[in-house]
Amino acid sequence: MFDNPFRIYNEMREADPVYWCEPLQGWMISRYADCVTALRDGARFSAARMAHLVAAQAPDVKPDDMPFSFRLNTLGIIFQDGSAHVRLRSHANRAFTPRALEAYQALVRDTVDQLVTDALARGSMDYQKDFAEPLPAIIIARIFGVPVQDRHRFKQWTEDLTLFFSQGVSDRAGAQRAEAGARDFGAYLQDLIDKRRREPGEDMLSYLIEGESEGRITAEELVVQAVMLIAAGHITTLDMLGTGMLALLENPAELRRVQESPELLPNAIEELLRFQSPVQIMHRLVAEDVEMGGQRMRKGQLAYINFAAANRDPRVFSEPDRLDVGRANAKQHLAFGGGAHYCVGANLSRMEAERAFGELFRRMPGLRISAEPVWRRHGLVYRGLASLPISW
């Protein structure tokens, strides 16, 4: 299932595109058109789902059992609707404007070049551990002014925090782990924020503090925004880098097309996002009764939007189970979501992937898998590798 969930997703989409999933206590939506509707219709499919998600995923866990984690997610940008979401998103957008992305190009270039140089000096690499994981962590740390040497700590906190909300079904132990991760991450960033208040810098954390002083966000929202943006800023990108590389190495003809025609690389990245869908599923709360796919969703129920199934819908993508780096409509994928909650850092992820793949293919033209890849064995929302040994 973890190695290749797409056969099941395809069967689900064609046989029962909107069905009640008892273990998840929610509706699974898997056709492209229905997923787009759910993503764009914030009035009927609300992002404010935290309490319902906890109740469905871990019935024996109450919000009081995980107060910091619950509060953090309730206030987080991806759990907000309407004016609150617009306010928080407009504040976060400054880190990802075209001007900001242009300023990050040298950082991305230098980080990629150093990681490739280090790998060449070693003569071997576990691509997932030695490249895909450190690259986005280093980039997001530099952008926020977080000490790069602490990246392993915030990676672990991110895993602890997100695991509970991405498994689909969890328990009290998962809630305790999420609570510990959220508390430790929040305390760590609060300490950095206090230091930045005394000594502002040219980084995103200092900008968030500026927004607090101007009354655009509260002190509590400041910590929450920092946690959410740093966590989201690397976890999905590392999965995209890993699963994307694996797809190319498993499809050598498509890899050769990219190597021989580097101008295909931007489109190839869109196709890899469609083909692998690092974020597989995202949830919403049904805010009012909805008819979809012959089913009636009731107000207060959860809806699970299956990006991975939608991205292989043959009604939109011809031969969807075939990787085609030249696919004309690859960019129609839903890997970054859609509507008001479209991923704020999508273009930074694209930039990192384009530079990473371009340099690896140029400096390591004989790239190949050298041992069996290992998938992470948990998660409904995120799909990624634990290990991908390669040689060249």
Residue 302 parent element (H or E): strand 302-306
Question: What is the phi/psi pair of residue 40, to 5°?
Answer: -90, -20
The pTM assigned to this predicted structure is 0.95
Residue 363 parent element (H or E): helix 346-363
Domain count, the chain: 1
Distance separating alpha carbons of residues 312 and 267, to the nearest angstrom: 17
In angstroms, the Cα distances linking 31 to 5, 247, 273, 315 are 16, 23, 17, 9
| pLDDT(1) > 70 | no
Q: Which tens digits make up the pLDDT trace of 354-363?
A: 999 999 999 9
- As given in the structure block, the two tokens for residue 210 are 């500026």
pLDDT band, very low/low/confident/very high, at 269 (cuts 50, 70, 90): very high
Provide the residue range defining the domain that includes 169: 6-391
Determine which of 137-146, 150-159, 332-341, 351-360 has the lowest per-residue pLDDT on average.
Answer: 150-159
**How confident is the model at residue 215, as a pLDDT?**
85
Burial class (CB in 10 A: 0-12, 13-18, 19+), 269: buried
| pLDDT(211) > 90 | no
The amino acid at residue 192 is L
Mean pLDDT across the stretch 104-110? 97
DSSP-derived secondary structure letter, 191: H
Concatenate the DSSP letters of all residues of 252-289 into one string: HHHHHHHHH-GGGHHHHHHHHHHHH-SB-EEEEEE-S-
Q: Is residue 24 part of a domain?
A: yes
Q: Considering the chain, what is the average pLDDT of its residues?
A: 93
Spatial CB neighbours of 152, under 8 Å, sequence gap ≥ 6: none
Q: Is residue 42 part of a domain?
A: yes
pLDDT band, very low/low/confident/very high, at 377 (cuts 50, 70, 90): low
Mean pLDDT across the stretch 338-364? 96
Distance separating alpha carbons of residues 95 and 249, to the nearest angstrom: 33
Q: Name which of 47, 32, 14, 34 is nearest 282 in CA terms.
A: 47
335 near 311, Cβ under 8 Å? Answer: yes
CATH number of the domain that residue 309 is part of: 1.10.630.10
Q: Name which of 236, 228, 58 is nearest 144 in CA terms.
A: 228
CB atoms within 10 A of CB 252: 12
pLDDT band, very low/low/confident/very high, at 3 (cuts 50, 70, 90): confident
Spatial CB neighbours of 49, under 8 Å, sequence gap ≥ 6: 79, 283, 284, 285, 302
Q: Which tens digits make up the pLDDT trace of 20-59?
A: 999 999 999 999 999 999 999 999 999 999 889 888 888 8
Q: Name which of 373, 286, 358 is nearest 47 in CA terms.
A: 286
CB atoms within 10 A of CB 301: 18
Question: Percent of the chain having pLDDT more than 70?
Answer: 99
Q: Which residue stretches of 199-251 are H helix?
A: 204-213, 219-249
User: Which of residues 346 and 164 earns the better pLDDT score?
Assistant: 346
pLDDT band, very low/low/confident/very high, at 214 (cuts 50, 70, 90): confident
Distance separating alpha carbons of residues 97 and 99, to the nearest angstrom: 5
Q: Is residue 1 part of a domain?
A: no
Q: Is residue 51 part of a domain?
A: yes
**How confident is the model at residue 2, as a pLDDT?**
57
